[in-house]
Structure 1
């Protein structure tokens, strides 16, 4: 109920207030999450893939998406992958391990802002959904090994999903994250002409790797 008050009722109130102005805004961009897709067993998903939200938060996000797309202010829904960047890097987590298998879909925070700005300035994707993710979804094990190599450290310990799920006291949100696997496509964003500042994790994590190596 609390999440619905924030994501659904909050959006409805904002639309009501802005749409009622003498000069209402022409565009609404609602930022959602790739979490609305649920689990796809590591398969690719795009804007045409049916959503299957599995948590309270992703269910209300999906409801809010429909409100945005049906708004009197013409709406666009941007589904963000996992955001990272300064103060949002998870370097130590992946360097120390253990790292559970699965895929990472990521987007640098500068590109998150860049996508919104681009869609507004170029007046694109009115009434549409756009998936915002970088060029290369990556396996967590491969990502962790790359980070370790770049930092001059041995590869971190790994664990399978089965091993992780068998651990006692695993929270339900953590369980759902582990069980949820997919690779998100940015083909539509590319067709719209957006150019990434950080097209993959290699460019995006360079700052974090440099800072870690210079400690």
Structure 2
């Protein structure tokens, strides 16, 4: 059997981690980004701009077995999200059509921002999407573009990604970050390596002929109250002072379930924030 091929459109942090995992499994990996010199070794670079209608000159020839769309917004406003997620995906689908390519499956990397629940509810793939902000609303619009593409598509709704280079909470805790304790403010996390791992798992499952659903939530096993996470990090880091400002109340509170992905056979390497943050702080990831 020949090596399966994949194009990762928007091959940044998560896309690069995915590329490394697939290369280790002997996939042929094409990575599309503006600066191909930043791609992991072994990735076939495709220099291009998802935000432009112009097809990249180095677009891969021949068949492409899989497409992963993993863009990141440059501008964090409504126009920036539309450009990155809706129009960017439309551009890539158009380039595939120009070259007569029809992948076996499209994975669209989405976000749990499509869920606007705020009272600590448990959320799964069947829960209502009641996005309150433009980010969730435009993610839903982009998801629909994927579903209407004519390519079998699965949306992967990632929760709060953390990992090396994504250490905002650690920085805040070191400064004495305060959060509301009651009512608990539930949050959802996934280590960057596990986010990439879930994508790799789904691609391999599809390649092996397993039936995939059209939506998966990417989250670890343990949604947790933010106060519990901060408390654990304070103890781990030996932080004793508190910031002078009042307790911070962040919007949104829900608990996302990974039961669907686990039923397919996936499990996170870092099942909770404890294992994930310990790996970061000990330099093991």
Q: CA deviation at 1:98?
A: 1.8
- Shift of the alpha carbon at 1:184? 0.4
- Equivalent residues in 2 for 1:65-214, closer than 5 Å: 65-89=143-167, 90-95=169-174, 96-101=176-181, 102-123=185-206, 124=210, 126=212, 128-154=214-240, 156=242, 164=248, 178-210=250-282
By percentage of residues, which structure has more helix? 1
C-alpha separation in 2, matches of 1:157 and 1:103: 21
- Equivalent residue for 2:61? none
| Equivalent residue pairs, number | 197
Whether the 8 Å CA contact 1:34–1:131 is kept in 2: the answer is: yes
**Residue number in structure 2 paired with 1:170:** none
CA distance in 1, matches of 2:211, 2:237: 40
Q: Work out whether residues 179 and 248 of structure 2, in 8 Å CA contact, stay in contact via their aligned partners in 1.
A: no
State the secondary structure of the residue aligned to 1:206.
helix
Q: Contact 1:149 / 1:155 at 8 angstroms: preserved in 2?
A: no
Select the structure with the greater relative contact order (CA < 8 A; seq sep ≥ 6). 1
Q: Give the drift of 1:159.
A: 8.7
* Alignment RMSD: 2.2
Q: TM-score, normalised by structure 2?
A: 0.64
* C-alpha contact 1:131 1:185 (8 A) present in aligned 2: yes
- Which consecutive unaligned segments of at least 5 residues does structure 2 have? 1-77
Q: Structure 1 length as normaliser, TM-score? A: 0.83
- Of the three residues 81, 86, 91, the one matched with 1:8 is 86
Consecutive unaligned residues of structure 1, counting only runs of 5 or more, are 166-177
TM-aligned CA deviation for residue 164 of structure 1: 4.3
User: Counterpart of 1:24?
Assistant: 102
